[in-house]
Amino acid sequence: MELWYTEKQTDSFGITAKVTETYVREQTDFQDLSMIETEEWGTMLTLDGMVMTTVRDEFVYHEMVAHPALVTHPNPEYVLVVGGGDGGVIREIMKHPKVKKAVLVDIDGKVIEYSKKYLPTIAGELDNPRVEVIVNDGYMHIHDHKNTYDVIMVDSTEPVGPAVELFSKGFYQGIFDALKEDGIFVAQTDNPWFKADLIQTVNRDVKEIFPIVRVYSANIPTYPSGLWTFTMGSKKHDPLQVEESAIPEFPTKYYTPRLHKAAFVLPRFVEDLIK
């Protein structure tokens, strides 16, 4: 008998993957967590029935959350990651020697625990001495740390369960206040095929708070539709003004200096969403 994992991305569309082994299936204090082995994508982490990451394509998402903001900020010494308990964004941040300290705040310690055990190539930098891992509410951490961070990255699930408040205007205002005077923030903002309204709402809210707002995209095959967006809000530095020659080389599989500005070139139907 074959076992398949299916994510219903809408009421009438989904993706499915053949499962070879189930490592974990647990209802944590916050969400339904599964760690499974798939034939096509390797080890896969799912939360509340949604694919969070897979060994095969995780590098796209994690690189594109971390690097555009870190190369845009001239001196990103103190960085915060809200969510991201799998550790992939932290791994990418650690490639930047200017970063003195990266703080990870995830509300669900089980995500961190199981990622260390079953996703070591993703979570391997969580024990780096430049990293502080906090199991707590990211919303409250933001509220309690005014004028603290150079860059804040929101690596959240889709806006369900504990992540709902991470897509609110009040949260973006809190991020603005937690950033230093030239700070930058970036958040994953879902896909334009199924969540156009979400992208429009986030873009409008962030534009009311940050003077510079840019949307960029990447191809992530195991995420709904494969086309994923990210929204960057900046107090001072514009990612479109970064010179390609000024971007240092570091090991990546998706992000490159040439891709930096290209990622901000959007299909017309996505441009129309955020006009």
Residue 167: predicted pLDDT: 64
Q: At what angle do helices 196-207 and 169-178 cross, to 10 degrees?
A: 40
Residue 168: predicted pLDDT: 81
**170 has binding-site annotation:** no
Residue 166: predicted pLDDT: 57
Q: Which residues are catalytic?
A: 155
- The CATH number for 36's domain is 2.30.140.10
Domain match, 35 and 121 both: no
pLDDT tens digits for 180-210? Answer: 999 999 999 999 999 999 999 999 999 999 9
Q: Which domain holds residue 39?
A: 3-54
Domain match, 255 and 197 both: yes
Residue 73: predicted pLDDT: 98
**205 has binding-site annotation:** no
Domain match, 216 and 261 both: yes
Q: Which of 57, 16, 51, 56 is nearest to 34 (CA)?
A: 51
Domain match, 269 and 189 both: yes
Give this prediction's pTM: 0.95
- What residues contact residue 254 under an 8 Å CB cut-off, 6+ apart? 59, 60, 63, 64, 218
Domain match, 166 and 201 both: yes
Tell me the pairing of strands 101-106 and 131-135.
Answer: parallel
Domain end, chosen from 34, 54, 74, is at 54
Domain match, 21 and 110 both: no
**31 has binding-site annotation:** yes
Q: What parts of the chain have a pLDDT lower than 70?
A: 157-167
Domain count across the chain: 2
Domain match, 36 and 65 both: no
- The CATH number for 213's domain is 3.40.50.150
- Give the 3-state secondary structure of residue 226: coil
